[in-house]
Amino acid sequence: MKTMNVSVVTPDGKVFDGDVEMVSVKTINGGLGILPNHIPLVTPLTIGAVRIKKGSDITLVAVTGGLMEVRGDQVSILAESAELPSDIDISRARAAKERAERRLEQAIKDDIDFKRAEMALKRAINRLDVAERK
């Protein structure tokens, strides 16, 4: 089967780089699957798991926003942050989720920083979801 190169890069460096058959992402407009020879595209990403498929192997990457650019058989994901399941400390992720839930409760009561608390909770849930599905 035809492949394309996919790279996931953060300000801290490259998280993933390889030739794959398909990549699925979560954009601000919904889910999107990219196969080789996809039309050129640039789209913003939301918090979610990037699903990278090669043969029967599936690699998940927890991504916190960013951009995806598709050009020819090259897919570049420039993410604010990205982690492979093996790099996620599950106990720290659970603690972050609990903190975010408390912060969200407080934000609702005090009517402050609701959006920030909500985004922290989404990031924590995404990291846990990716880490626990490995």
Q: Given this model, what pLDDT does residue 20 score?
A: 97
Task: Please write the tens of the pLDDT for every residue from 61-119.
Answer: 999 989 999 998 999 999 999 999 999 999 999 999 999 888 888 877 776 677 888 88
Tell me what the mean pLDDT of segment 14-24 comes to.
97
Domain(s) labelled CATH 2.60.15.10 in the chain stretch across 4-83
Residue 117 has a pLDDT of 82
Question: For the structural domain made of 90-132, what CATH number should be given?
Answer: 1.20.5.440
What is the per-residue burial (b if ≥16 Cβ within 10 Å, else e) of 15-38?
bbeeebbbbbbbeeeeebebebeb
For position 110, what pLDDT does the model report? 72
pLDDT for residue 120 is more than 90? no
Q: How confident is the model at residue 134 (pLDDT cuts 50, 70, 90)?
A: low
- Domain(s) of CATH 1.20.5.440: residues in the chain: 90-132
CA–CA distance, 108 with 118 (Å, rounded to integer): 10
Look up residue 17 and give its two tokens: 């780089």
Please give the CATH topology (third level) of the domain spanning 4-83.
ATP Synthase; domain 1 (2.60.15)
Model confidence band, residue 132 (pLDDT cutoffs 50, 70, 90): confident
Residues above pLDDT 70, as percent of the chain: 98
pLDDT tens readout for residues 25-75: 999 999 999 999 999 999 999 999 999 999 999 999 999 989 999 998 999
Residues 103 and 127: their CA atoms lie apart, in Å, by 18
